[in-house]
């Protein structure tokens, strides 16, 4: 610097200047078409159900690549805004989507099979004088695991879990660890919390006599939507758990300097027998259970609805808040995509997972099947020709994202 007056200086030529350097480019795994459909379907659900927030994630089953990730909340004025990554950073008690984990634990233990009988009674039972209740009075009292699961019976699943693990709580908790539900996904986005999964030894002060029944139906634990999806994706991927990833490559001056490959988190977390049975249960949910909205003649879906009460300390049902979700994969026989949709606090137009979340899943799945699959023979054949209004392009996988 050269002084040219009182308190005045001028840069001189010999002073080195640092030239701005062009930054690197990141190529993501996102598919623009799927992302747009997910975003639009989520916004429509937010408005239809007057929800507080919502998120949706679509994952490639074989690789763990994130094909779409959409998040919506509300501003102070009530407008829809992208204000937080709920899919990655927001954990909560998911409710019935985690019945899949407890049921898998029972199947792995060999304690049950699809025909194991269970009494649903009038939809109410008790554990240590604490009421466990179904969302509606069951159509039948004498049921089995298959019926209890596809109808999402809290009473049925909790009774079976208690009879399977009531005397061995450590074994019950160990299955959640085996299934990868106690660890982060490790996605490259900051802010992912650790799952909250109780253990009777590590958390002995908060492990109660009612913990197994309530954990079995998705309470007394907390997970993010992405953590739940990663678990379901492992089911779709024959027991292999893939790390979800969002960055495909990094470019420097249009040259690839780093490529991110699929990473296996756990190679085989389910037995073949348990895996086959859980597939049947998840397909049954769509074919004849709580998510028949997703049943169609052109491709199959497997998954589970979830409807969690988020302020269950409130006794009046009219003032309870809910979290609606659906998590699953498609096509069920040879899964290409897994997907989770969560709608938080829907207050109109239905609050069940099959009402608020499943329609979003359907729009995303329909788009994927139309645009990334080849024609196949229709399933669920009907005994009459379809009307023009019923026709839908039928596709099967031809390319990966």
CA distance 86 to 94: 13
How many Å apart are CA 339 and CA 314, to the nearest integer?
31
pLDDT tens per residue across span 205-225: 999 999 999 999 999 999 999
Name the pTM for this structure: 0.88
**Structure tokens that stand for 35 in this block:** 């992302």
pLDDT number for residue 388: 39
Note the pLDDT of residue 13. Answer: 55
Among 3.30.450.30, 3.40.710.10, 3.30.930.10, 1.10.1660.10, name the CATH number for the domain at 24-390: 3.40.710.10
Residue with tokens 């005397």: 167
pLDDT digits (tens, 9 = 90+) for 159-169: 999 999 999 99
Report the C-alpha gap between 244 and 3 in whole angstroms. 58
Chain position carrying tokens 């839908």: 392
DSSP letter for each residue of 227-253: HHHHHHHHHHTTTPEEPPB-EEEEEET
pLDDT at residue 274 in the model: 99
From first to last of its 401 residues, the chain has per-residue pLDDT tens of 555 555 565 555 555 556 666 778 889 999 999 999 999 999 999 999 999 999 999 999 999 999 999 999 999 999 999 999 999 999 999 999 999 999 999 999 999 999 999 999 999 999 999 999 999 999 999 999 999 999 999 999 999 999 999 999 999 999 999 999 999 999 999 999 999 999 999 999 999 999 999 999 999 999 999 999 999 999 999 999 999 999 999 998 778 888 889 999 999 999 999 999 999 999 999 999 999 999 999 999 999 999 999 997 777 777 889 999 999 999 999 999 999 999 999 999 999 999 999 999 999 999 999 987 655 455 555 444 444 343 344 333 333 33
- Cα 120 to chain center, whole Å? 27
31, 107, 221 from 178: Cα distances, Å? 32, 14, 16
pLDDT value at position 373?
A: 64
5-27 confidence digits (pLDDT tens)? 555 655 555 555 566 667 788 89
Q: What is the pLDDT of residue 386?
A: 42
CB of 306 closer than 8 Å to CB of 94: yes
Of 161, 168, 164, nearest to 215 by C-alpha is 161
Give the pLDDT of residue 383. 47
């Amino acid at each position: 610097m050269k002084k040219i007056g009182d308190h005045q200086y001028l840069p001189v030529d010999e002073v080195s200047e640092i030239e701005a350097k062009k930054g690197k480019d990141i190529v993501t795994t996102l598919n623009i078409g799927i992302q747009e459909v997910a975003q639009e379907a989520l916004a429509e659900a937010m408005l239809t159900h007057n929800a507080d927030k919502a998120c949706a994630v679509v994952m490639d089953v074989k690789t763990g690549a994130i094909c779409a990730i959409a998040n919506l909340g509300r501003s102070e004025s009530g407008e829809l805004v992208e204000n937080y990554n709920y899919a990655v950073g927001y954990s909560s008690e998911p409710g019935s989507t985690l019945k899949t984990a407890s049921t898998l634990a029972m199947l792995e233990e060999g304690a049950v099979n699809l025909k194991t009988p269970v009494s649903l009674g009038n939809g109410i039972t008790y554990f240590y004088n604490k009421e466990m209740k179904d969302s509606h009075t069951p159509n039948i009292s004498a049921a089995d695991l298959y019926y209890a699961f596809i109808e999402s019976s809290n009473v049925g699943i909790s009774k079976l879990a208690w009879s399977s693990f009531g005397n061995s709580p450590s074994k019950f908790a160990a299955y959640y660890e085996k299934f990868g539900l106690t660890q982060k996904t490790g996605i490259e986005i900051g802010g992912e919390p650790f799952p909250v999964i109780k253990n009777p030894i590590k958390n002995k002060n908060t492990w109660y006599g009612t913990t197994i029944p309530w954990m079995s139906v998705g309470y007394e634990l907390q997970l993010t939507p992405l953590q739940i999806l990663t678990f379901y994706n492992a089911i779709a991927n024959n027991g292999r758990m893939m790390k979800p990833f969002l960055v495909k490559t990094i470019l420097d001056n249009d040259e690839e300097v780093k490529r991110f490959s699929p990473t296996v988190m756990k190679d085989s977390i389910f037995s073949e027998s348990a895996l086959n049975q859980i597939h049947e249960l998840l397909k049954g949910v769509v074919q004849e259970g709580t998510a028949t909205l997703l049943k169609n003649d052109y491709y199959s879906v497997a998954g589970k609805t979830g409807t969690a009460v988020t302020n269950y300390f409130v006794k009046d049902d009219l003032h309870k808040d809910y979290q609606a979700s659906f998590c699953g994969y498609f096509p069920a026989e040879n899964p290409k995509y897994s997907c989770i949709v969560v709608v938080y606090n829907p207050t109109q137009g239905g609050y069940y997972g099959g009402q608020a979340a499943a329609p979003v899943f359907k729009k995303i799945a329909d788009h994927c099947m139309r645009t990334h699959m080849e024609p196949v023979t229709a399933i669920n054949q009907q005994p009459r020709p379809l009307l023009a209004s019923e026709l839908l392009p039928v596709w099967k996988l031809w390319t990966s994202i």
